[in-house]
Amino acid sequence: MLNIDLSGRIALVTGATGDLGRVMVRTLAGCGADIVIHYLNNAGKAEELKREVEELGRRAIAVKGNVTEQADIERIKAEAEAQLGTVDIVVANAVIQYQWTSVLEQSADDYTSQFESCVMQSVYLAKTFVPGMIARGQGGRFIGINTECAMQNFSTQSAYVAGKRGMDGVYRVLAKEVGEHQITVNQVAPGWTISDRDRATQTERNAQYESTVPLKRRGTDQEIANTVAFLASDLSSFITGAFIPVNGGNVMPTI
């Protein structure tokens, strides 16, 4: 019987208090991992998640930091190692939010923010955590949350798409560079996903979007978290360099 068992693993989830991040935290902890809960502003939700993880019998710490600053990421690593141990699962989920508009009207600062939160966050996380995975000698998992938008390239998405497509390049190259150490590097690309925000406002359904999806529905936050847990586990030990859409077939990478 297949079983996702992350016992003895320590996972960092950036942007852990967000709509998708909080479900990733619960799911990884439910599979047995101890969790480093990263947040930027929502300390209350981070502490609530910490209590939830501890109620599952796992260890957790909540750490504030700006993932676009290498010094903050290095501090997160130091706190994680002091309180939990060596992080061997990294989930880069945090992203800066901004107002989408056309290329001609989008602020240059928005392009910079997306580059920093998509590309440089991943670079800083790799520089900070991958050496420890290599030194430990037991492999590791480096997982980035991308988006179906990176393949759609719709109007008003340019800054977001630019950041995520740049991120994609980093992950593909990193996968080749660290593969010999049995460290896998993969991306999960959600579609327009149902989260607690939708459930609270009863906005789970959108007929126009659903009509474009082969499975004729929106995915859920739990389905995204399930894919992350799979990639974090030994079941995915021979998968690296992958861009995995979790969007009901709304976009399909070609060979």
List residues with catalytic annotation.
160
What are the strands, taking DSSP E only, across 53-168? 60-64, 89-92, 140-145
d(C-alpha 48, C-alpha 67), whole Å:
21
CA dihedral 178, 180, 183, 184 (to 10 degrees): 90
Query: Which pair of tokens denotes residue 112?
Result: 């910079």
Is the Cβ–Cβ distance between 110 and 125 less than 8 Å? no
CA dist., res. 106 & res. 48, Å (int): 36
